[in-house]
Amino acid sequence: MCGNTMSAPLPAIVPAAKKATAAVIFLHGLGDTGHGWAEAFAGIRSPHVKYICPHAPVMPVSLNMNMAMPSWFDIFGLAPDSQEDEAGIKQASENVNTLIEQEVRNGIPSNRIILGGFSQVILI
């Protein structure tokens, strides 16, 4: 399967203890979910920061014998010249942009939103 077209559950969110003035959006790695990262952030959170840990949709991953697992996009190989899932990467980027835009609509300035991740990440 090519592309990130399957739906994913709503993100795991660690709300700010006080009014949120900043947000961290953190993407998990291949095969993981946002739950563990949300728990980690809950232990170290800042009172004015909202932590958003989205879950990648479950999809077959070519590199892993088409086994279905949480993945931001398909992975065809690890060699530098391996084909890339351009459509899936684009869709995942659009999904992240939607999260960012939602936080801006919620009143958090874009310069107070941090995007990070672990392992299989797409940074825009």
Nearest to 73 by CA among 65, 82, 58: 58
Instruction: Dump the DSSP string for 54-67.
Output: --PPEEEEGGGTTE
Residues 6 or more apart in contact with residue 95 via CB below 8 angstroms: 4, 54
Res 123 pLDDT > 80 = no
Q: Which pTM value belongs to this model?
A: 0.86
CATH number at 58 reads 3.40.50.1820
List, for residues 72-89, the tens digit of each pLDDT value.
999 999 898 999 999 999
Phi, psi of 52, deg, nearest 5 = -120, 120
Element (H, E) at 15: none
Whether residue 122 lies inside any domain: the answer is no
Whether residue 34 lies inside any domain: the answer is yes
- The predicted pLDDT at position 104 comes to 98
Q: Which domain holds residue 17?
A: 12-117
Res 11 pLDDT > 70 = yes
